[in-house]
Amino acid sequence: MARPRRRDVLGAMALALGGVPLRGRAAIINGALPWMPDKTSPPPKITESGWRYFTNDEAATVEALVDRLIPPDPETPGGKDAGCAVFIDRQLAGPYGHSEGLYTQGPFHPGTKEQGPQSPDDPAKHYRKALAALDEHCRKAEGGKRFSELDDAAKDKVIAGLEDGSIDLGDEKGSFFKQLLKDTQQGFFADPIYGGNKDMAGWKMIGFPGARYDYRDWVDRHNEKFPLPPIGIADHPDWKEG
């Protein structure tokens, strides 16, 4: 099976442009406008140093995976340099990774696609098991090499096997690939405050202006290029360090 083209992968993320984490609670603004941020409680900013959930070996595998799902080109960084692995790591270390807010008790039975995941494993456990199984497969099939040690052609062949289910990771057919692809896309387009979309590379690529407060001056100005650079949630002047 042919690997999806880079633009096809990124184009599937129209619904992610709100810049939200994988699982979170929407902010509700009450009272008079304009809304003003609370200077005493700025949003926590993700730092790039260290891994919160992945081991170093797991992180190397994920960085190699996201960089093939979104490979770099002359104009835009790939998934690794855009911080997609950092985004996934921080999400797995938080509420999303542990299925917080979801019913996770048994019994567990095979379900339909519309019923969502029917597994006792939360996303964090799913990643850990799948990454271990992936490297074990690669060692057996690729002369003892881990996934991150393969050349690009071999990596793409493995990823195609993950997508079509021909590589068995011990989970539901293709489920790890679907989760990884979704999380990678989210990391490329989410607000940089969550660790991905470094330097707003994803937003700049598609011309998304980011989390600006007011667009009223531009509502009726069609077919004009928006002249201002994108801004993120943490870019409000009241939340910047002095």
Q: Is 109 exposed, middle or buried (0-12, 13-18, 19+ CB in 10 A)?
A: exposed
Query: Which range has the worst mean pLDDT, 1-5, 118-122, 146-150?
Result: 1-5
Pull the structure tokens for residue 221: 């100005």
Residues in the chain: 242
Examine the pLDDT at 25 and tell me if it is beyond 70: no
Residue 184 contacts residue 176 (beta carbons within 8 Å): no
In the chain, where are the structural domains located? Answer: 42-103+117-208
φ, ψ of residue 136 to 5 degrees: the values are: -65, -40
Q: Quick one: CA dihedral 204, 189, 77, 91, positive or negative? A: positive
Q: Look up tokens 């008790």; give the residue.
A: 105
Mean pLDDT of 216-236: 85
* 88-112: pLDDT as tens digits: 999 999 999 988 887 777 777 777 7
Pull the structure tokens for residue 211: 């989390």
pLDDT score, position 34: 59
Dist CA 98 CA 24 (whole Å):
13
* 157-191: pLDDT as tens digits: 999 999 999 999 988 778 899 999 999 999 999 99
Examine the pLDDT at 28 and tell me if it is beyond 60: no
DSSP assignment of 88-116: HHHHHTSTTTTTTTS---S------GGG-
Q: Is 141 exposed, middle or buried (0-12, 13-18, 19+ CB in 10 A)?
A: middle
